[in-house]
C-alpha cells in the first residue's frame, strides 16, 4: 500500500473510531437521545473528516518531503476513511431499538476495528502484538470512559 494511502487509512480509521465513540458515548450519557447521537455521528463524519484531512494536508506540507500528489493522496484518503468509518456507527443506532444496546454494539465494533488494525501494525513492524493492542485499546477505552462521565455530569448538571 502506498505510504500516502496508509497515512489516510491509519489516521482516518483511528480518528473515526475514537472520536465517534467518544462523542456517541458522551451524547448518550448526557441526553439519551437517538437523534442527538445520530446528529453527532453525522457531524463528526462531515466536519471532523474535513478538519482531519486538512490537518494531515498541512502536516504533510510542513514536513517538506512529500510531492504534491502524495500530499493530496493523504488528504483525500484521510477524509474518505474518516467519513466512512465514522458513518459505520450510524448503523447500530438505526438497527437497535434501545440506544444503550446500540452504544454497546458500537463500542464493540469500534474496538474490534481498532484491534484488527493494531494487530496488522504490530505484525508489519514485527513488534509485540499484545503491547501494541493494549496500548491502542486502553487509550480508546480511556476516551470512552471519560466521555461517558462527562456526559453524565452534563446531563445531571444542566437538566
Domain extent listing, the chain: 3-154
Question: How distant, in Å, are the alpha carbons of 65, 90, 107 from that of 145?
Answer: 38, 20, 11
On the 0-12 / 13-18 / 19+ scale of CB atoms within 10 A, 25 is buried
pLDDT tens sequence across 58-102: 999 999 999 999 999 999 999 999 999 999 999 999 999 999 999
Tell me the pTM: 0.94
To the nearest whole percent, how much of the chain has pLDDT over 90? 96
Give the whole-angstrom CA distance, residue 93 versus residue 38. Answer: 7
Give the whole-angstrom CA distance, residue 28 versus residue 19. Answer: 14
The predicted pLDDT at position 157 comes to 94
Amino acid at each position: 500500500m502506498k505510504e500516502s494511502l496508509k497515512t489516510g487509512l491509519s489516521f482516518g480509521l483511528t480518528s473515526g473510531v475514537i472520536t465517534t465513540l467518544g462523542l456517541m458515548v458522551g451524547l448518550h450519557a448526557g441526553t439519551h437521545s437517538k437523534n442527538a447521537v445520530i446528529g453527532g455521528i453525522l457531524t463528526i463524519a462531515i466536519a471532523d473528516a474535513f478538519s482531519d484531512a486538512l490537518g494531515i494536508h498541512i502536516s504533510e506540507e510542513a514536513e517538506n518531503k512529500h510531492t504534491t500528489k502524495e500530499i493530496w493522496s493523504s488528504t483525500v484518503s484521510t477524509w474518505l476513511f474518516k467519513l466512512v468509518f465514522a458513518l459505520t456507527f450510524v448503523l447500530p443506532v438505526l438497527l437497535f431499538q434501545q440506544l444503550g444496546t446500540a452504544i454497546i454494539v458500537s463500542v464493540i465494533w469500534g474496538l474490534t476495528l481498532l484491534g484488527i488494525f493494531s494487530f496488522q501494525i504490530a505484525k508489519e513492524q514485527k513488534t509485540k502484538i499484545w503491547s501494541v493492542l493494549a496500548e491502542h485499546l486502553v487509550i480508546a477505552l480511556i476516551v470512552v470512559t471519560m466521555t461517558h462521565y462527562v456526559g453524565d455530569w452534563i446531563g445531571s448538571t444542566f437538566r
